[in-house]
């Protein structure tokens, strides 16, 4: 159905995969604290919580389903819809003991679906990546779990489109000492992701993730506008219009514009594959905890302040070369 709507690659490729794809049966998951965007746009939604399960039982079901197909080569990647950002609660999010207590005490107000998927994966030694702006494995409790179990993880939010261009271009202004006065990025997209992000709380997580990168690279925060809006007829196309106002020699003001027009799934899928390969290699080489060298792939990389794509790529290469020769 998705192919019929978008027709963004050769249908023969899909036919070759038909048999394998048909073997994949999605299992019921959880949508705890996924916000209005998910609850309203994915209707009718069948979740484990609707079956009246406790939090502990939900975790056990997700774990059972995951372990049914997982093997030594499995990597889990969260590509579910973006969740609203929950308020950090030190009692339940700061330590593994606190997080597991939230599960025992059935504190479903304290966890989100992406945290639970990360918890189950990491607990079972399955490397995990968060391709979304949702909180997921970035809370201290789950970082502690990854360290304890000895499993690598990475995130957050795949850097596939406008932000990739922004974080590649922003360093140029810094290198040439051109002062960025303002940066506007206006994104429109169709499909379900666009519908979910049309809901204010879900959208906020994404905007925060996209907005901060320019300031992080420049070392100062110019005036920014970052907007995302749903545009149904675009389907899986995502178009970004960026306007950059900057100042050069003798204080002269100049302008730069770009338009990024890409197909969301086509720019995201190869990154998901690369992240999975790198995490599997990291696991095989005994790495554990946050793999910050994978920052190159993410808009909001964990445990690093390096947002410059050029430097991130050098860091990734160095890490990879050292790992394969170790
Ligand atoms: N270029 C990109 O596509 C790109 C780039 C960066 C980040 N992301 C993020 O990746 C995610 C997926 O993007 P997409 O375009 O494929 O979105 P999509 O809306 O097409 O797909 C999301 C899928 O997640 C499922 N889902 C929602 N909540 C779930 C839950 N709690 N448990 C299990 N499944 C759930 C939905 O049913 C849907 O099938 C989004 O969060 C998006 O913001 C995508």
Which of 213, 244, 263 terminates a domain? The answer is: 263
**Does one domain contain both 277 and 139?**
yes
**Does one domain contain both 248 and 275?**
no
Which residue's CA is minimally distant from atom 31 of ligand 1? 31
**Does one domain contain both 36 and 154?**
yes
Which of 217, 239, 263 terminates a domain? The answer is: 263
How much is the pLDDT for 303? 97
137, 288 Cβ separation under 8 angstroms: no
Residues in the chain: 326
**Does one domain contain both 152 and 288?**
yes
How much is the pLDDT for 78? 98
Assign residue 68 the CATH number of its domain. Answer: 3.40.50.720
What is the Å distance from ligand 1's center to 35 Cα?
Answer: 13
Mutate to test the pocket of ligand 1, among 81, 161, 189, 202 (most ligand atoms within 8 A of CB): 81
What is the Å distance from ligand 1's center to 245 Cα?
Answer: 33
**Does one domain contain both 289 and 145?**
yes
**Does one domain contain both 142 and 191?**
no
How much is the pLDDT for 267? 95
Backbone angles phi, psi at 97, to 5 degrees: -60, -45
Beta carbon of 193 within 6 Å of any ligand 1 atom? yes
How much is the pLDDT for 296? 98
How much is the pLDDT for 201? 86
How much is the pLDDT for 226? 92
Backbone angles phi, psi at 52, to 5 degrees: 80, 20
**Does one domain contain both 125 and 193?**
no
**Does one domain contain both 48 and 129?**
yes
Which of 212, 246, 263 terminates a domain? The answer is: 263
Q: How many domains is the chain partitioned into structurally?
A: 2
Mutate to test the pocket of ligand 1, among 193, 269, 298 (most ligand atoms within 8 A of CB): 193
Assign residue 241 the CATH number of its domain. Answer: 3.30.360.10
How much is the pLDDT for 236? 87
How much is the pLDDT for 192? 86
**Does one domain contain both 272 and 259?**
no
The Cα 76–Cα 34 span in angstroms is 19
DSSP symbols for 85-98:
PPPP-HHHHSSHHH
* Ligand 1 atom at shortest distance from the alpha carbon of 117: 32
* The two three-digit tokens of residue 258, written as one number: 């770009």
**Does one domain contain both 59 and 173?**
no
**Domain containing residue 94:** 2-158+267-324
- Beta-sheet strand order (sheet of 237-247): 223-230, 179-189, 237-247, 253-263
The Cα 215–Cα 204 span in angstroms is 18
Q: How far is CA 235 from CA 78, 188, 195, 262, in A?
A: 22, 10, 10, 11
* Ligand 1 atom at shortest distance from the alpha carbon of 195: 19
DSSP symbols for 239-270:
EEEEEEEEE-GGG-EEEEEEEEEEEHHHHHHH
- All residue ranges of the chain with pLDDT < 50 are none
**Does one domain contain both 89 and 181?**
no
**Does one domain contain both 126 and 175?**
no
């Amino acid at each position: 159905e998705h192919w019929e709507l978008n027709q963004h690659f050769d249908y023969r490729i899909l036919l070759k995969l038909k048999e394998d794809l048909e073997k994949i049966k999605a299992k019921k998951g959880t949508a705890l604290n996924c916000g209005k965007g998910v609850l309203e746009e994915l209707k009718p939604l069948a979740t484990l919580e609707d079956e009246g399960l406790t939090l502990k039982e939900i975790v056990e079901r997700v774990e059972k389903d995951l372990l049914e197909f997982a093997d030594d080569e499995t990597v889990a990647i969260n590509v579910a819809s973006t969740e609203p950002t929950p308020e950090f609660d030190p009692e339940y999010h700061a330590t593994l003991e606190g997080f597991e207590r939230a599960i025992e005490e059935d504190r479903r107000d304290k966890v989100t679906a992406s945290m639970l998927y990360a918890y189950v994966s990491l607990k079972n030694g399955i490397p995990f990546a968060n391709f979304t702006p949702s909180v997921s494995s970035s809370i201290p409790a789950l970082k502690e779990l990854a360290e304890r179990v000895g499993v690598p993880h990475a995130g957050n939010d795949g850097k596939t489109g406008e932000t990739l261009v922004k974080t590649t271009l922003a360093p140029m202004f810094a290198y040439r000492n051109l002062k960025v006065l303002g940066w506007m990025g206006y994104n429109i997209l169709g499909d379900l992701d666009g519908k979910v992000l049309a809901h204010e709380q879900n959208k906020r997580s994404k905007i925060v993730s996209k907005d901060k990168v320019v300031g992080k690279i420049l070392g100062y925060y110019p005036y920014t506008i970052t907007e995302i809006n749903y545009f149904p007829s675009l389907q899986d196309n995502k178009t970004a219009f960026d306007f950059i106002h900057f100042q050069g020699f003798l204080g002269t003001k100049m302008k730069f514009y770009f338009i990024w027009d890409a197909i969301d799934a086509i720019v995201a899928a190869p990154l998901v594959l690369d992240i999975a390969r790198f995490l599997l290699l990291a696991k095989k080489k005994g790495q554990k905890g946050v793999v910050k060298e994978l920052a190159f792939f993410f808009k909001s990389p964990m445990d690093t302040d390096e947002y410059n794509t050029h430097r991130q790529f050098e860091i990734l290469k160095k890490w990879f070369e050292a790992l394969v020769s170790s």
